[in-house]
């Protein structure tokens, strides 16, 4: 039962972490520029972008706490080798999935020209 509880916590953590990665990517945060930049889309407001970045950061923080809780629940009080392996495997899967998704979603390069020139409008 302890292992199932740890697995459920880590699955919930992965869902929350993927939501955080999606919010960071959708708000225009990008590693592709010179350092960490925010892609300036013309149809979005800075307030909306700040809310998206804030939600992404809070979700990734919650992911870290839920993953840590899942690790401690799966490990339990008796520290047998099997419980340590299961707990470590759960954390490894969570980290690989969420960090990979965050890197993938925030590595979008900024567009060269978002709006076409006035003479090329349809």
- 78-109 pLDDT, tens digit each: 878 888 898 999 999 999 999 999 999 888 77
Structural domain harbouring 7: 2-31+44-111
Q: Would you say residue 117 lies in a domain?
A: no
Q: Which of 53, 32, 33 is nearest to 107 (CA)?
A: 32
Q: Would you say residue 76 lies in a domain?
A: yes
pLDDT score for 108: 76
Quick: pLDDT tens for 47-79: 888 898 999 999 999 999 999 999 999 988 887
**How many domains in the chain?**
1
Residues whose CB is less than 8 angstroms from the CB of residue 105 and which lie 6 or more positions away in sequence, other chains included: 21, 22, 24, 25
Answering whether pTM is above 0.75, one says yes
Q: Would you say residue 39 lies in a domain?
A: no
Q: Would you say residue 100 lies in a domain?
A: yes
User: From CA 96, how far away is CA 98, in angstroms rounded?
Assistant: 6
Q: Would you say residue 56 lies in a domain?
A: yes
Q: pLDDT confidence of 39, banded at 50, 70, 90?
A: confident
- Could you tell me which residue, 77 or 15, shows the higher pLDDT? 15
Q: Would you say residue 11 lies in a domain?
A: yes
Q: Would you say residue 99 lies in a domain?
A: yes
């Amino acid at each position: 039962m302890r292992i199932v509880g740890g697995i459920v916590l880590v699955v919930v953590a992965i869902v929350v972490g993927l939501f955080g990665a999606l919010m960071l990517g959708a708000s225009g945060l990008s590693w592709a520029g010179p350092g960490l930049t925010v892609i300036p889309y013309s149809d979005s407001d800075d307030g909306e972008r700040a809310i998206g970045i804030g939600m992404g950061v809070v979700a990734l923080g919650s992911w870290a706490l839920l993953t840590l809780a899942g690790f401690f629940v799966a490990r339990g009080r008796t520290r047998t080798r099997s419980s340590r392996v299961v707990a470590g495997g759960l954390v490894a899967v969570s980290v690989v999935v969420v960090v990979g998704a965050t890197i993938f979603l925030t590595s979008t390069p900024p567009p060269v020209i978002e709006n076409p020139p006035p003479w090329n409008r349809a």
